Amino acid sequence: MLRLVLILAFLAVPAAAEQVVAGLSQNRIAITANFDGSELLIFGAIKREEPIPQDTPLGVIVAVAGPSKPLVVRRKERRFGIWINTDAVEIDLAPSFYAVATSGPMNEVVKDIEDLRHKISIPRAIRSVGAPMHIQDAPAFTDAVIRIRSNNGLYTLLEGAVEISEETLFKTSIALPANLTAGGYKTRIFLTRGGRVVDEFETEIPVQKVGLERFLYNLAHERPLIYGILSIVIAIAAGWGASAAFRYFKG
């Protein structure tokens, strides 16, 4: 009887009045020796079975996130003429790359409660749940991560970068820097009405090293001893070659 009630309750939930149908210009990004960045074009349409709502404004948000990893943020202070580490906070998870593009001002396109629920904005995408008791300004360490990675082109907020045509078609482009981390890049598209998320689309783009870059990356992570020995041999050979060339031209 309980199972029947749950089935009927599920069937009674109406389908979303508006749904995102999206596509990407690339389904795979290859990092080669001469990789200097790329541009990801994201486009789509809004599927409807009813007339376009006129009472609430439409918003579209596109978020692209690289692989998330924990990290330790340290604060340096100058004491006795030298810089030393004083405090440290461990960030549970922080995306290696994060870009958010919106169709308007962030605080107008999505409400704060929806941002908290879906973790859309850059600060909400970083998870830091605890800090040592003696550190009173723990949020400052998260702010430092955002500031440093923003300066390196890894964190970007692009307000107004999503173009919407006739409340049905949308597109935007996100620049991917040369210093990308290999892994899966999650792409999320949020459709909002009056600041509330009404539909979400999600896909993932693999970013992989290829050719010599992939060989060296796999060797360093899977055979670190061999990689270390090979690095030493190459360094010795390069040093000997440079020394021999210097003696030849000098003589």
pLDDT of residue 217 exceeding 60: no
pTM, 2 dp: 0.73
> 8-47: per-residue pLDDT in tens?
443 443 456 888 888 787 777 766 666 667 888 999 999 8
Q: What is the mean pLDDT of the chain?
A: 79
220 & 185 share domain: no
200 & 131 share domain: yes
Q: Which domain holds residue 56?
A: 15-209
Among the residues of 98-223, which ranges form H helices? 106-109, 112-118, 122-125, 139-151, 211-222
133 & 155 share domain: yes
Is residue 8 situated within a structural domain? no
> 32-41: per-residue pLDDT in tens?
666 667 888 9
Number of domains, the chain: 2
Closest to 149 in 3D by CA, of 115, 185, 122, 110: 122
Compute the distance between CA of residue 55 and CA of residue 6 in angstroms, rounded to an integer.
33
> 152-204: per-residue pLDDT in tens?
999 999 999 999 998 889 999 998 888 888 888 999 999 999 999 999 999 98
CATH number, domain at 180? 2.60.40.3880
Is residue 132 situated within a structural domain? yes
172 & 229 share domain: no
Q: For residue 116, what pLDDT band results from cuts at 50, 70 and 90?
A: very high
Neighbours of 251 (CB within 10 A): 5
Is residue 6 situated within a structural domain? no
106 & 219 share domain: no
Q: For residue 216, what pLDDT band results from cuts at 50, 70 and 90?
A: low
Closest to 29 in 3D by CA, of 171, 158, 154, 184: 184
Higher pLDDT, 100 or 74: 100
Provide the pLDDT for residue 180. 81
Compute the distance between CA of residue 72 and CA of residue 107 in angstroms, rounded to an integer.
30
48 & 164 share domain: yes
